[in-house]
Amino acid sequence: MTVKRSLFPVLSMLFLTGCAAGAVSSAAVPSTAAPLPGTAETAGTAEAAATAAPTADAVQPPQGLVETGAAVLDYDEIRLIDYFREYQPYPDTDYYTMCRDGKWGLMRSDGTEVLPCRASEPLFECSWNAHHWHGYLDDLFGSPDYEAAYKAASQTLTESGDGRLCAEHDGGGYRQFVFLQDDKTYLYSGSMGPGQFITLTDDILQLFSGSTNGPVPAQNGTTTHESDEWYNFVGDGLYVYRCRNSGAANNFVYTAADCFFDAPLAAAQREGKWVYLDTAGHEVTAPCYDGIYRPNHYTDEPLVFARAAPLLSGYAVVSRDGKFGLLDNTGVELVPCVYDGLAWDGGTAWVKLADGWHEYTIPGVTKPDPLADLPDSVTAPDTYPARTDAVFFMADANSTNRLNLRAGPGLEYDILGKISSSTLRVYGYSSAAPGWALVRYDPLYDVPQFGWVSTAYLISAE
């Protein structure tokens, strides 16, 4: 990889109202979006100041960010890895997929190249979220060279502690919110077939909306009963943000929509563009942004990125008119959309200038600690996995013989739950109790849970 050093100074901060396109009117509802009953009286659309677009030359450093001095990268593009939003409230931002001369590879978010650019399209992660990477050798599949290339790439990933290639199909589960004929909102969840309608609980709403009465994007649709508590649901492809009482949070209908999780803003799509709204239902930007990640895989058509980026540590990468910027949690562009590329992992940003990609930080902003939400009732680890350690495992258990999830590293601790076969991520160990690991369990029909398990019942998924 060619590297260079930055010589640009850092300038003072400049703010720009998101999309700066004048007032956003509720009259802009598309024909499919008739006013909805039960809309919160306080919901509406923010008046965006009609600020002129910036005229700064995009080769200048972004104002308000601090350059780290890291080596400048010479890629053409750097993109957020395609991931399954419903299973990763805070996506795995340790990696990006990057492009040079029309070929894609894998890099760590700190700029370290993991797999050189050779794939015909952006890499993406398996639905099981275990650092299993798809798409790297698709052009060789079925050829005499495939097996040797697969082994070589897999060995590289294993030795560097960066997961492995995935050649299996993605047969994971699904989660979505639905609005049924009884005028109630449910979480619909299942795996490769019929699913269950789950009544909204405090824990579910806290996870997906950030509060026990926050809004979630729900679809109407057609329901057919399969058996017992199992149903098929076909959504209509239109989303309304609904609160716990199923009242609509605003007057808009969206063609795609994200959950808030613990962020103050969520992205939703209408009129073919992405807009950001707050938890009261107010749109704080105009619908003017384009997608950032999730390209149209396995097609000869030009790449189109379908999804807007979520807020990470209070900021989201945004794109309009082919240029990139960084939106803050009030809907203001901290970095205006004048750059040819921008990637953000919640702690550092890579910004494309004339001579390549420069790494920056935002003063006072760091990536969140994954154990920040560890309950007080669960013992914290004192030892953490090294990069080259296997950290993704499958529980050696099934629906009738389940693995105990405990509050601490030992049989003397309370049992918090029972784990069936599932992907687990190890977050730490106890030096005083060898043979135990702190994991996070993400059950298909419930919310994630931390706890300790015996390592004797873990099978490496890497």
- Distance CA(361)–CA(257), nearest Å, equals 29
**More confident position, 345 or 44:** 345
CB 179 within 8 A of CB 249: no
441 close to 419: Cβ distance less than 8 angstroms: yes
Question: Is residue 421 very low, low, confident or very high in pLDDT (cuts 50, 70, 90)?
Answer: confident
What pLDDT was estimated at residue 21?
Answer: 39
- What digits encode the pLDDT tens for the residues 441-461? 887 767 889 999 999 999 887
Distances (CA, A) of 86 to 140, 208, 313: 31, 9, 18
Return the pLDDT at 34.
Answer: 38
Which string of DSSP letters, residue by residue, matches 171-234? Answer: --EEEEEEE-TTS-EEEEEEESS-EEEEE--HHHHHHHHSSTT--EEEEEEEEEEEETTEEEEE
Residue 180 binned pLDDT confidence (cut-offs 50, 70, 90):
very high
> What domains are there in the chain, each with its CATH number?
3-13+54-169+292-361 (no CATH), 392-460 (2.30.30.40)
**Mind listing the pLDDT tens digit for each residue in 153-174?**
989 998 999 988 887 655 567 8
Beta-bridge mates of residue 233: 223
Sign of the C-alpha dihedral computed for residues 205, 207, 208 and 212 taken in this order: positive
What element of type H or E holds 104? strand 103-108
Instruction: Give SS3 for 60.
Output: coil
133-156 confidence digits (pLDDT tens)? 988 998 898 899 999 999 999 899
Give the residues across from 165 on adjacent strands: 133
Give yes or no for a contact between 257 and 268, defined as CB atoms under 8 angstroms apart. Answer: yes
Residues 293-331: tens digit of each pLDDT:
988 877 778 889 999 999 999 999 999 999 999 999 999
**Better-scored residue on pLDDT, 109 or 128:** 109
- Could you give the CA distance from residue 217 to residue 204 in angstroms, rounded to a whole number? 13
In a 13 Å sphere around the CA of 127, the CA atoms on its Cβ side amount to 12
Asked if residue 326 lies in contact with residue 315, where contact means CB atoms within 8 angstroms, the answer is yes
Only one residue has tokens 């926050």, namely: 214
pLDDT tens digits for range 56-106: 444 689 998 999 999 999 999 999 988 776 666 777 789 999 999 999 999
Q: Which two tokens stand for residue 118?
A: 């050779």
HSE of 332 in the Cβ direction (CA atoms, 13 Å)? Answer: 8
Say what the pLDDT of residue 59 is.
Answer: 60
pLDDT over 90, % of the chain = 63
Give me the percent of the chain exceeding a pLDDT of 70.
Answer: 84
Highest mean pLDDT among 39-43, 96-100, 150-154, 390-394: 96-100
Tokens (6 digits) for 5: 């050093």
Question: Strand (E) positions, 383-435?
Answer: 392-395, 403-406, 415-419, 423-429
Distance of alpha carbon 110 from alpha carbon 17, whole angstroms = 29
Higher pLDDT, 192 or 391: 391
Residues 6 or more apart whose CB falls under 8 angstroms from that of 244 comprise: 185, 200, 205, 212, 213
Mean of the per-residue pLDDT values for the chain?
Answer: 85
What is the layout of strands, in order, in the sheet containing 256-257?
256-257, 265-270, 273-278
C-alpha span between 236 and 257 (Å, rounded): 13
What is the C-alpha separation between 73 and 173, in angstroms, rounded?
A: 37
At 389 the pLDDT is: 86
Give the global pTM: 0.85
Beta strand 392-395 with 273-278 is unpaired
